[in-house]
C-alpha cells in the first residue's frame, strides 16, 4: 500500500510542477530555462498571419543561442555566409523573450535578407524602416547594438525546440516561429 501512495504523490507532484508554466515545458528538467535556450537551431517553421509566403532563404539560417544571453545567426546566400550577432533576454517571469542585434554593415541587399529574418522571426524592427535611431545605422558603417525588438511570447521551451508567437507592430503580422536543434 505504501508503494501506491508514493506513486500517487509522485503523480500529483509532477502535475503541479507542469502546471506552473504558461507554455509547453518538460514536466521535469534538470536544465533551467536559460540552459534550455542554449543551443544551435535551424528555423524549422514560420507561420505568418495574415498568410504570407516566407522567403526560401529562411531555411538557410543557423541560429545559436548562448545560455548567458548572447547569440549568432549565420545565413548562407549562394556562396556568401553572413554572420550577425545578437543578444537575448527573458522578461521577469521568463514567459517572454526578446532579441537585439549588432549592426556592423551598410545597408546592402544581402543584409536585407538578414533583416527580414530578424523582423519575421525575432520581432526586431528592420533597420531600413524610418526609425530615427535606426537611420543612423543605414547611412554609414557603425559597430553598435541596435534597439531591443518586441517581446515574443514563449509557446514552447524544451531541450531541443523553442516556439514563439508575437505581433510585429511594424508589419501588423502575427508570427509563430519554431526553432529546432
Question: Which pLDDT band holds residue 133 (cuts at 50, 70, 90)?
Answer: very low
Classified by CATH at the fold level, domain 32-180 comes out as: Lipocalin (2.40.128)
What is the mean pLDDT of the segment spanning 94-106? 82
Pairing of the two strands 173-180 and 61-65: unpaired
- 28-43 pLDDT, tens digit per residue, is 556 788 888 999 999 9
Query: Which pLDDT score is estimated for 54?
Result: 87
What is the mean pLDDT of the segment spanning 58-64? 91
Give the span between the Cα atoms of 124 and 99, in whole angstroms: 7
| Domains of the chain by residue range | 32-180
- Of 6-15, 50-59, 82-91, 104-113, the poorest mean pLDDT is in 6-15
User: Is-contact 52 69, C-beta < 8 A?
Assistant: no
pLDDT of residue 130 exceeding 50, the answer is no
Question: Which pLDDT band holds residue 131 (cuts at 50, 70, 90)?
Answer: very low
Query: Which pLDDT score is estimated for 11?
Result: 57
User: Is-contact 71 64, C-beta < 8 A?
Assistant: yes
Helix, strand and coil percent figures for the chain, each rounded to 5: 25, 40, 35
State the chain's mean pLDDT as an integer.
78
Amino acid at each position: 500500500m505504501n508503494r501506491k501512495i508514493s506513486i500517487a504523490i509522485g503523480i500529483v507532484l509532477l502535475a503541479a510542477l507542469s502546471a506552473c508554466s504558461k507554455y509547453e515545458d518538460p514536466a521535469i528538467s534538470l536544465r533551467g530555462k536559460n540552459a534550455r535556450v542554449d543551443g544551435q537551431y535551424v528555423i524549422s517553421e514560420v507561420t505568418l498571419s495574415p498568410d504570407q509566403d516566407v522567403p526560401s532563404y529562411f531555411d538557410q539560417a543557423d541560429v545559436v543561442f548562448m545560455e548567458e544571453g548572447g547569440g549568432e545567426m549565420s545565413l548562407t546566400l549562394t556562396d556568401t555566409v553572413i554572420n550577425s550577432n545578437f543578444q537575448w533576454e527573458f522578461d521577469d517571469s521568463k514567459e517572454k523573450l526578446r532579441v537585439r542585434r549588432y549592426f556592423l554593415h551598410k545597408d546592402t541587399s544581402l543584409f536585407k535578407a538578414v533583416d527580414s529574418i530578424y523582423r519575421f522571426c525575432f520581432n526586431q524592427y528592420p533597420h531600413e524602416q524610418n526609425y530615427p535611431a535606426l537611420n543612423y545605422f543605414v547611412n554609414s558603417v557603425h559597430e553598435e547594438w541596435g534597439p531591443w525588438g518586441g517581446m515574443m511570447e514563449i509557446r514552447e521551451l524544451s531541450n531541443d525546440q523553442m516556439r514563439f508567437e508575437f505581433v510585429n507592430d511594424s508589419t501588423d503580422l502575427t508570427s509563430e516561429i519554431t526553432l529546432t536543434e
